[in-house]
Chains A and B, each alone.
Chain A
Amino acid sequence: MLLEINNLQVNYFSARGKTPAVCGASLAIKKGEVLGLVGESACGKSTLALSIANLISPHEGKIAEGEIIFNNRNLIGLPEKELRALRGREISYIFQDPSSALNPVYTIGEQITEVLLGHENISKESAKEKAIQALKSAQLADAERVFSCYPHQLSGGMKQRSMIAMATILKPKLLIADEPTTALDVTVQAKIIELLIKLKNELGLSILFITHDLNLVSTIASRIAVMEKGKIIRYETKGLSKPAAAEKRKTETQSKENVLEAKNLKKYFAVETGFFRREKGIVKAVDGVDISLKYGQTLGIVGETGSGKTTLAKLLAGLYTPTEGKIYYEGNKKIIRKDFQMVFQHPFDSLNPRMKIEDILKEGLLIHKIAEPSNIKQRLCDLLDMVQMPKDSLDRFPHEFSGGQRQRIAIARAISVEPKVIICDEPVSSLDVSIQGKILQLLLELQERLNLSYVFISHDILIVKAISTTIAVMYQGKIIEQGEASQIFEHPAQEYTKELMSAARY
């Protein structure tokens, strides 16, 4: 065994006393093995990772109990000087967000050579040589240029590659990767995973790969440890199941009429700079989009960050006025507000924190005078019932609910005014994997029951496929491919679509 953690307990200090983050976790990693560590947010994964090389700040928390045996040596209680020699040389880390893990005032080269000069007694020239070599093996084509770049001059993927080069330059025995691809675009994610696998084989690394994404981890890890509430609750070998809703296909609907249609839709934003707000240029967020949605169907829109999906959603929901082009709502140019609702991406931001759930759900009913005052309470209970939330939620405030529950409330708010279309902008992407499936299931049930039509926007082509009748692939403000869901999935015409799909399979 390279690393063995036994009964680890880590507490954080807070105003109310000690908060346990890891409570009696045990795990082991063999030499040359990739161990996946999955769990929902706040289950203690990152704390576990940080405590391996004792990176917990003494002002914030403390390892209370347990042992961490690395290479037959217990790391707990080791003097700081010896730990420092271990970090980088034997155990190294890659973090979630490369933009905040790299120091913005030093070049990539300076930061990588610092690692070498700190651990090895070598000259600056040979350090530079080694650093460029490491950048090359991290598959950065233009290694010399990257060496002299500052972090802000590089893309997210390139920064993460540089981080990987930095973490592996001393050929450590253990690499701890804490959500290394979460902050990156899906297409870049796949390539980073490939790189990690390649380096593992070349250098004989053991990797502790931490993520909340089951699909991702099963592509790289041979064993997966599942963590919950500070404990490792079970191990799994490859092949965890996908969310249940993913398998459920939409029933065919015969309707031919469009409930929502956009023609040559464009939205440009002016970029203003300087003191006098001169226009410096324009961003074409949505650049000539034609889409249509039939009654009772679901139009899935898929694309990566920055492709203009959210702008398109806001245009369709009437929150933005288009620069050019027309939107027809049931054939009319004017939107009937109550018929077109929206569900937003961040359930922690989309509910007014100062309002009780009752007031949040009641608002639409009052504005559109949908229920008689005497029936409002009953109607609210029905709504909660439809989204499978208990009735006593009415008296509570949003902060008392989890992300998934809040998203259910947001969905209840959207259906409260009896809409015909709901525009869902990444409705599950900020939720934990285990909740995603349930929310998708709920959306499908409501569609059937209330005869809703959806525009469903996501960066994850698997989720879009699970729920959509037709799919449109968006890239740089344009729809580059659209058609029946099954057809797009089985016979993608565009290279980019194929790339999205192979990225999703990871």
Chain B
Amino acid sequence: MFKNKLTLFGAIIVGALAIIAIFAPFISGHDPAAIDIQQALLAPSSAHLFGTDQLGRDLFSRIVYGARVSLVIGFVAVGISIVIGLAIGSIAGYYGGRVDSVLMRLVDIMLCFPSFFLILALVAILEPNIIIIMVVIGATSWMGPARLIRAEILSLKEREFIQAAKVLGASDFRIITRHLIPNGIGPILVNAVLGIAAAILIESSLSFLGIGVQPPSPSWGNILMEGKSTLGVCWWLLLFPGVAIFITVMGYNLLGEGLRQRYVVRDK
């Protein structure tokens, strides 16, 4: 499994992040929302590992809780994109013909939008909260999974076990959900790991611009935004959230790339 050292490294990062997110209350040591103006803008020390922000909140615990937000948004957004992608891609691949043409042109159209600006516009119109952000990211990133599952289904549907299911009298819904998708899901799941990294980056960018996760909920993006005003004085307010984003995205990308090489490339 982990012949490749980089894949192993990625897996360790992903695993550690999951543990940090799940056990955040035990790891953090401070309440991430506890304001103490007298303690504002302290440099890192043994009392506050990563220092404190303008309102005197402990930066370490804010980053630990921020991991929760990032991971939840990453997983749920990718989950939404897979559900939409599977539905559209498998219908297009299975029925073919005109249905396929229409749905695939829809995919092409969606891909024409610069997706970040589309997300910006949507979030600006709607009220930015964590659920809206997840739905919007998911709804603008399903095209990749849709194309992947369509390609898988195009080749799978000629196989004899699909014909056998038809002869047995299985409905189209049953054939798609029980026979086609379980056999074609591999590349989509591998792709999903890479998708999580992308979703986390988008969330951070949105929060940095102030239209993502709203304070006081901590998110790496909005911690960066708040630290921007003291740039040059309080380096820790930019360094630690920046490093957190960097390591997380790198972890998912390394793991995703390793899985892709192992399962998708070798299958062909």
Contacts and interface: CB of A to CB of B under 8 A. Distances in A.
Q: Which range holds the interface residue count of chain B?
A: 10 to 19
Given A344-B160, A363-B178, 12 more contacts: A342-B164, A344-B163, A345-B160, A352-B165, A352-B178, A354-B183, A355-B178, A355-B179, A364-B169, A367-B174, A413-B164, A417-B169
A342 B174 contact: no
A315 to B, nearest CB: 12
Given A352-B179, A353-B183, A354-B182, A346 B169 contact: no
Nearest to A314: B163
B161 interface: yes
A410 B168 CA distance: 11
A318 B164 CA distance: 11
Contact of B164 (A337, A350, A353): A350
B109 interface: no
Interface of A: 314, 317-319, 337-338, 340-342, 344-346, 349-355, 363-364, 367-368, 410, 413, 417
Contacts of A350: 160-161, 163-164
Contacts of B171: 367
Interface of B is mostly: helix
The 4 A-B pairs with the shortest beta carbon distances in the complex, nearest first, are A337-B169, A350-B160, A344-B160, A349-B160
Nearest to A346: B160
B232 to A, nearest CB: 55
A228 to B, nearest CB: 29
Interface of B: 159-161, 163-171, 174, 178-179, 182-183
Contacts of A341: 167-168
Contacts of A364: 168-169
A317 B169 CA distance: 11
Q: Which of B164, B169, B178 has the most CB of A within 10 A?
A: B164
12 contacts: A319-B166, A352-B161, A352-B179, A352-B182, A352-B183, A353-B183, A354-B183, A363-B170, A363-B178, A367-B174, A413-B164, A417-B168
Contacts of B169: 337-338, 364, 367-368, 417
Given A352-B179, A354-B183, A342 B159 contact: no
A319 B163 contact: yes
A354 B166 CA distance: 17
Contacts of B179: 352, 355
A363 to B, nearest CB: 6
B101 to A, nearest CB: 11
B159 A349 contact: yes
Contact of A342 (B167, B182, B183): B167
Nearest to B179: A352
A419 B171 CA distance: 18
Contacts of B161: 349-353
Contacts of B182: 352, 354-355
A367 B164 CA distance: 13
A355 B177 CA distance: 12
Contacts of B163: 314, 319, 342, 344, 350
A309 B55 CA distance: 80
Contacts of B167: 317-319, 337, 340-342
B19 to A, nearest CB: 31
A344 B166 CA distance: 12
A340 B168 CA distance: 9
Q: Which of A318, A319, A344 has the most CB of B within 10 A?
A: A344
Contacts of B166: 319
Contacts of A352: 161, 165, 178-179, 182-183
Contacts of A363: 165, 168, 170, 178
A412 to B, nearest CB: 12
Contacts of A355: 178-179, 182
Contacts of A354: 182-183
Nearest to B162: A352
Nearest to A347: B160
B170 to A, nearest CB: 6
Q: Which of B159, B169, B178 has the most CB of A within 10 A?
A: B169
Contacts of B170: 363, 367
Contacts of A345: 160
B115 to A, nearest CB: 29
A345 B159 CA distance: 11
A426 to B, nearest CB: 11
Nearest to B159: A349
A363 B165 CA distance: 8
A355 B178 CA distance: 9
B164 A410 contact: yes
Given A352-B179, A352-B183, A367 B168 contact: yes
